[in-house]
Structure 1
Amino acid sequence: MLSYTADPGLASIKLIACDMDLTLLADDKSQPPHMPERIAALAEAGVVFCPASGRPGPTLEAMFPEHAHDMAFCPDNGGSIIYRGELIYKSLIDPALYREVLFAALAEGSGVPVLCAFDEAYALTSARVYEPEIDVYYHTINYVESFEGLDVDANKITIFFPQRNSKQVFDETFSPAFSDRLSVTCAGVEWIDLMNLGVNKGSGITHLCERLGISLADVAAVGDTYNDVEMLECAGHSFIVANAAEHMRAHATYEIPSNNDRGVATLIDTILAAKRA
């Protein structure tokens, strides 16, 4: 696989769409040092920095307090887009359909279903035991006795798998049952995410580029796993971190150092150097 330094068009990049877990973030969930300064330097060079994640918007914005007001965000795997503090796109799942998924998850038995409603979440009271895992992403969790009759604006269903068997359940249950009506993806070994059909990080970045007048040819996308595939494939410049799963090499052109070696920071510095040259 080619090194990121072999990309001849780094100076043309106008937007960086970057996955969070195991990509920008190290294994200990920390960001590279001096990220606020890098984001400011990108903005000065005319480059929009856009974290793209399964996390909801408010949680994602809170991770970048210095620049949330002048950045873009692709939360909920593309289920919404935020630019400079404004929600510029959202995709709503039909309540009857998300209730069907929630009950299917309960019937399957090994996962903990959570309904994602932009800035808050809904889970069963019995799921409180998993609150430490859920509230990493959703600070407002509404516990209900049943999903029956639940009717709120929601753009994603996520299912937590304590046994880390999300890929097996994806293959055996949720992809066969719902992939004709919803976009179904593994968001790591512990999570399955379901959004409206056609909603993914790639479609979210496409909406953002249309709004900003940026060509996808001038987008750099960085990722590591399944839910980054569409984003990598739609971007003119596609990068995976060295720690990415082996199968991800089929979906990107270039490789950067690993998340723990701060590969995204290295890529940003290289893009900035190319623009100054």
Structure 2
Amino acid sequence: MRLVVADMDGTLLDSGGRIPEGLWPLLDRMRERGVVFVPASGRQHARLARMFERAIDGMPIIADNGSYVVLDDQELHSTTLERDVAVDLVHRVRAAGRRQLVLTVSGKRCAYVECADEAFLAECRKYYSRLEILPDLLDFDDEVLKLALFDPESVTRFAEPLIADLAGSHHAATSGRYWLDIAAKGTNKGAALRRLQDRLAVPPEQTAAFGDYLNDMEMLQAAGRSFAVADAHPQILAVAQCRIPSCGQDVVDAIGRLLARG
């Protein structure tokens, strides 16, 4: 195994949203063996880089659900959305009149919101280290990597119908229970992984991927070995070759076993 890619929330992170301490010595052993570890997440690159600052040198990062791939602060690949799409979605969310439904514009430099609700901001800061609150969300000035709709009650019930007509021209995927992400067509963690495999000259059969939710689907399909945690989405369980009892340390242990097998 030469390349290991892991989703973060619900997979590598424990139930408290923390990186298991057992991962750090494992990353050292992987580096010694020439095995590349890649976090792949809907989270912002800046957030992931902060989380992995102890081991960031030489670590590729797949951020914003595949929209942004970075290695040592150098962009390897990005896909962006037209500003018109973001502006249209801002108007749709406002017209929906649902206070709980909130839009985040995730840009290359920063993420942008116009909601100052503290409960939402606390949730948002889990995923975005660089976050700017704008009086008017239409005033953002950045390249758009993705748009993220949040609804704490039911993102599938309220957000999915709002963007149903975009499904054919863009990529939309639920990212956990409360988030729905919209990106450029063909953008996903799997497409980002395939580009990384090409760049590193690592074939799928020497790649392992770990995930739990629908935004991990293409990533698992791009790997020769695929793993899902036991409480993963049913569609992910149907695709994954192997099941892991739980998130966090169980995932670290599974990676360790892969490394031991060579």
Q: TM-score range by the shorter chain?
A: over 0.9
Corresponding position: 1:264 with 2:254: no
Give deviations 1:211-230, integer Å, cap 9, x for gaps: 11111222111000111011
Moved more, 241-250 or 36-45: 241-250
With normalisation by structure 1, the TM-score equals 0.88
Give deviations 1:89-131, integer Å, cap 9, x for gaps: 1111110112112222333324100100134111115556521
Corresponding position: 1:195 with 2:183: yes
Q: Secondary structure at the match of 1:232?
A: helix
**Residue of structure 2 in register with 1:53 after alignment:** 41
**Residue of structure 2 in register with 1:161 after alignment:** 151
1:141-152 aligned within 5 A: 141-148=131-138, 150-152=140-142
Give deviations 1:5-30, integer Å, cap 9, x for gaps: xxxxxxxx211110001100111112
Aligned residue among 35, 50, 53 for 2:23: 35
Corresponding position: 1:103 with 2:91: yes
Give deviations 1:39-98, integer Å, cap 9, x for gaps: 111121121100100001110011111111121110000001112332211111110112
CA contact (8 A) 1:106 1:113 kept: no
Q: Which amino acid aligns with 1:166?
A: V
State the alpha-carbon separation in 2 of the partners of residues 98 and 171 from structure 1: 16
State the alpha-carbon separation in 2 of the partners of residues 125 and 167 from structure 1: 21
Q: Which amino acid aligns with 2:156?
A: K
1:120-159 aligned within 5 A: 120-127=110-117, 130-148=120-138, 150-159=140-149
State the alpha-carbon separation in 2 of the partners of residues 148 and 266 from structure 1: 45
CA contact (8 A) 2:46 2:129 kept: no
Corresponding position: 1:66 with 2:54: yes
Q: Secondary structure at the match of 1:74?
A: strand
Q: 1:47 to 1:17 in 2, by over 3 A?
A: same
Deviation at 1:243, TM superposition (A): 2.1
State the alpha-carbon separation in 1 of the partners of residues 17 and 6 from structure 2: 15
Q: Which amino acid aligns with 2:151?
A: F
Q: 1:192 to 1:44 in 2, by over 3 A?
A: same
Q: Secondary structure at the match of 2:138?
A: coil
Deviation at 1:184, TM superposition (A): 0.4
With normalisation by structure 2, the TM-score equals 0.93
Moved more, 102-111 or 82-91: 102-111
State the alpha-carbon separation in 2 of the partners of residues 52 and 23 from structure 1: 11
State the alpha-carbon separation in 1 of the partners of residues 236 and 129 from structure 2: 31
Corresponding position: 1:255 with 2:247: no
Structure 2: give runs of 5+ residues left out of the alignment: none
Q: Which amino acid aligns with 1:264?
A: V
Give deviations 1:187-207, integer Å, cap 9, x for gaps: 011111111111000011111
State the alpha-carbon separation in 2 of the partners of residues 84 and 40 from structure 1: 17
Q: Which amino acid aligns with 1:263?
A: D
State the alpha-carbon separation in 2 of the partners of residues 274 and 189 from structure 1: 35
Indicate the percent of aligned positions where both proteins have the same amino acid.
Answer: 27
State the alpha-carbon separation in 1 of the partners of residues 94 and 122 from structure 2: 20
Q: Secondary structure at the match of 2:137?
A: coil
Q: Secondary structure at the match of 1:92?
A: coil
Q: Secondary structure at the match of 2:31?
A: helix
Corresponding position: 1:118 with 2:105: no
